[in-house]
Amino acid sequence: MVKVFVYGTLLGDDTGHNYWHHDNVTVTNSRHATIGAKMFLDNYPYVVLDTTRTVRGKVFEVDDATIKEYDMIEGIGTGWYDRTRTAARYDDGTEEEVWVYCSARPRGGRPVPNGQYKDWYDMGAYPIPQGMGEEPRGAKK
């Protein structure tokens, strides 16, 4: 089994059901967690690892077929995202190393100061409109 931190369009319910509705995804365990990163919104959300900020999401435990599906969705090998190891901190304070899809450096878009893509998605702000403006009301800072 493989553990991967999800924070954007892969973030769905605890079974992995998300915006893309991929049937080839099998999540056997899910836990809320944070990583040290800065989130940006461009056409899609992405993160850049950064120990001075946090991004909230979930760690999914998935099988090898699911991680291959995620690699395809995230464009691994095309220059869009990298799959990198990082430390995830769970709500109970424990940490472990997991995979995360991220960018090596900022590539455009606007920062998400609270590091929570779900706030935007819950407002129906998907796909992300141009010139999004201020944080959505009710966003946790």
pLDDT of 134 reads 40
**Where along the chain do its domains lie?**
2-122
End-to-end CA distance of the chain: 33
pLDDT of 119 reads 63
pLDDT of 46 reads 93
52-104: pLDDT as tens digits: 999 999 999 999 999 998 998 899 988 889 999 999 999 999 999 999 999 99
Least confident stretch, 19-23, 104-108, 114-118: 19-23
Residues 33/95, Cβ–Cβ less than 8 Å: no
- pTM higher than the cut 0.85: no
- Cα–Cα distance, 13 to 46 (Å, whole number): 19
Per-residue pLDDT band at 121 (split at 50, 70, 90):
low
CATH of domain 2-122: 3.10.490.10
pLDDT of 82 reads 94
